[in-house]
Amino acid sequence: MPSNAISAQGSKLSIESAGDKPSFVQIKEIQSYSGFDGKASELDVTTLDSTAKEKRKGLKDNGGFQFELNRVLDDPGQLLLDAAQNEDQPRRFKLELPNGKSAAFSALVMSFDLKGGVDAVLKGSATLSISGAVAWA
């Protein structure tokens, strides 16, 4: 039976611009990504009448989203990402998959670095901390 695996090639990540008319701007040169790696908290509901620990599931934490890219210092999406690193409020992001599905989420830009070396292009990686729900469409 053939696989139903979806190629990641063609995925796009965009960040929302600030201002009066915000729009999503693609962050170019992304090479790999991973994320939505959070989990729900565990609530202890044990009482004195319990015969063993009792637990419930708490709120879901959607975790983070990380990606690696080629740094292009004049790319509009990378410039927005760089600016968002200095902001205290989350920005909206949108991940578009090649199969037409997309995920919209708000996140804080926790880090966005620059890496260089001998016989290498400028690279970078970004770490986002997701705030709130992830809306899949």
- Considering its fold, how many domains does the chain have in total? 1
Instruction: Answer yes or no: is pLDDT of 126 > 90.
Output: yes
Q: What is the pTM of this model?
A: 0.90
Give the pLDDT confidence score for residue 1 in this predicted structure: 86
pLDDT at residue 19, rounded to an integer: 80
The answer as to whether 2 is a domain residue is no
Distance CA 62, CA 129 (A): 8
14 domain residue, yes or no: no
What is the predicted pLDDT for the residue at 101? Answer: 96
Q: At 63, give phi and psi (nearest 5°).
A: 75, -135
For residue 12, tell me if it sits in a domain: no
Domain that holds residue 66: 25-41+54-136
In a domain, 15, yes or no: no
